[in-house]
Structure 1
Amino acid sequence: MSALPVSARLAWWGTAWLRGGVGPDDVLDAVHGDDVAHVVTSADGPSSLLLELAAARNRGADGAAAAFPAPGDPAGLRGPRELTSAAIEAGEVVLLPGAGLVPRRVGRAVEWTVLPAERRPPPDLGDADRQLRAAVLHAANALADLDAARWQPLVADELHDLRTGVPLHAPPGTPARCLDLAGRALHLEAVVELALGDDGGAVSASEAAARRALLEPLERAARHALTAACSPDGWPPPAAAAGHR
């Protein structure tokens, strides 16, 4: 569970609480992990994660979503600009009806800022999965042409195994398909980070640039996949989700 970004943990356990699957202590234990404190600030003054979830429930929410945007790719967001900019800087955000919670780590604590958020179209889980698989295959084949096994054998091996994923724990009601997709997305993000951090193995600047150009689409597909896996507004209905277990 600790491998999940904090926004993903709040999205999964917050959704489970909103749907009656876990208690408030379960949410706090899962989201806080080893952190010493989580504090929430909003335009109305100090708040808390449970208060924000309760307010969202009062507005009719039955789920909390997470998005993982990057510069030039505001994946899973529709604005407004203040929220999008803050979420891109943080690399993650939790979305509730009318509000976004942007985390910022301060030592072993996390500060959450509540900002207005526009409603966005739900991500397509199946499309995100297909795009991730296609990106892996393309990257693996292209890097083979660049002799990836020579400069970074681990990257070459990991890219060729589509089944590899980070082991994760999820609350009741999380579709098994989302658990699998999130694990693979996190694994591939780690592989890309490893590969992009080893330009020293390139024989030239142009070769390093070629590797980066090949791996950046994979990183983007992984972020989109993680966003879809953490967006209950795009999950299959419970009966369909149970059929994937």
Structure 2
Amino acid sequence: MHDDTSETLPAAARLAWWGTAWLRGQVVTDLLVDAVIGADATHTVADPFQGTDTLVGGLARLRAEGATSFGAAFPAEGDPVGLGGPATFNAAALEEGSAVVVAGADLGLVPQRTGAAVAWVLHPAARRQLPDVGEADRALRSALVESATLLADLDVARWNPEVADRLMNLRHRPALTAPDGVPPRCVDLAARALQALAITEVALEDDGGAVTAYEMTARREALVPLDRAGRRALVSACSPEVWPPA
């Protein structure tokens, strides 16, 4: 059931999918550990009050405290999507670019990476407002078309042929394997979200390709809506609170 997913899905998304499946008895512990850790050396759960535990030990404690699912957040400056506060949790999640909210336990986990090790630091976390899966799906499709059109107007093929190639080959998405319980629609949405985010990342890598400051600004403005839609789609796809019924 596990292939290259751990290399393509962010850690918060992996924990959301496999952690939720583990809580619901849909995957065994070994699969949980394999999928969440992926290519990393180790993952731990760090509680500021109770110290550091293994990944399984920390998640087991969260289960004992009432955890019912794990949902991902991928915030950016000005767009705290997937977060519900408090401010200290939001700030930590924003600094790292991701977090996991533990439904049923009023807690959140923020991944702090040191080399090949990840420590999931516990924080108090409030309930959050989330984009509906259908809404996020439609917004992503719309943003992709709009951004592709704007980038074509900016002659994307001239300054970054790789971005042009990616936009021409949108059917070639990352192949994600998900545990039982993740709706197929959400697996597909996550793959398209990752694709959109990869396009924005590649397109912004080298501003030297643009001839003028105006073009650099125009390129960024063309990509901001796609980045926002991609992150929101990934949050929906990795948040069991809004998954459609199986």
Q: Normalising by the residue count of structure 1, what TM-score does the alignment of the two structures yield?
A: 0.92
Match in the other structure for 1:90? 96
Determine whether 1:63 maps to 2:69.
yes
Which AA in structure 2 matches 1:134? S
Determine whether 1:212 maps to 2:212.
no
Q: Which runs of 4+ in 1 moved over 6 A?
A: none
Determine whether 1:134 maps to 2:142.
yes
Residue 83 of structure 1 aligns to a residue in which SS? helix
Q: In structure 1, what is the Cα distance between the partners aligned to 2:198 and 2:25? A: 33
Could you tell which deviates more after superposition, 194-203 or 54-63? Answer: 54-63
User: Is the CA contact (8 Å cut-off) linking 1:63 and 1:232 kept in structure 2?
Assistant: yes
Match in the other structure for 1:49? 55
User: Is the CA contact (8 Å cut-off) linking 1:93 and 1:103 kept in structure 2?
Assistant: yes
String of CA shifts for 1:124-161, please: whole Å, max 9, x gaps. Answer: 11111111111001011111211112222331232355
Give the Å deviation of 1:195: 0.7
Match in the other structure for 1:31? 36
Q: In structure 2, what is the Cα distance between the partners aligned to 1:188 and 1:195? A: 11
Q: In structure 2, what is the Cα distance between the partners aligned to 1:153 and 1:45? A: 49
Determine whether 1:198 maps to 2:206.
yes
Q: Normalising by the residue count of structure 2, what TM-score does the alignment of the two structures yield?
A: 0.91
Matches within 5 A, 1:167-178: 167-178=175-186
Which AA in structure 1 matches 2:219? R
User: Is the CA contact (8 Å cut-off) linking 1:123 and 1:231 kept in structure 2?
Assistant: no
Which AA in structure 2 matches 1:224? R
Could you tell which deviates more after superposition, 219-228 or 159-168? Answer: 159-168
Residue 92 of structure 2 aligns to a residue in which SS? helix
**Aligned residues: CA RMSD:** 1.5
Determine whether 1:75 maps to 2:81.
yes
User: Is the CA contact (8 Å cut-off) linking 1:18 and 1:63 kept in structure 2?
Assistant: yes
Residue 64 of structure 1 aligns to a residue in which SS? strand
User: Is the CA contact (8 Å cut-off) linking 2:81 and 2:130 kept in structure 1?
Assistant: no
Give the Å deviation of 1:215: 0.5
Which AA in structure 2 matches 1:70? A
Q: In structure 2, what is the Cα distance between the partners aligned to 1:157 and 1:102? A: 34
Which AA in structure 2 matches 1:204? T
Match in the other structure for 1:241? none
Q: In structure 1, what is the Cα distance between the partners aligned to 2:96 and 2:238? A: 17
Determine whether 1:154 maps to 2:162.
yes
Aligned counterpart in structure 2 of residue 5 of structure 1, from 6, 10, 15: 10
Unaligned runs of 5+ in 1: 239-245
Could you tell which deviates more after superposition, 120-129 or 207-216? Answer: 120-129
Q: In structure 1, what is the Cα distance between the partners aligned to 2:170 and 2:55? A: 35
Q: In structure 1, what is the Cα distance between the partners aligned to 2:40 and 2:149? A: 40
String of CA shifts for 1:192-212, please: whole Å, max 9, x gaps. Answer: 111111221211111111101
Unaligned runs of 5+ in 2: none
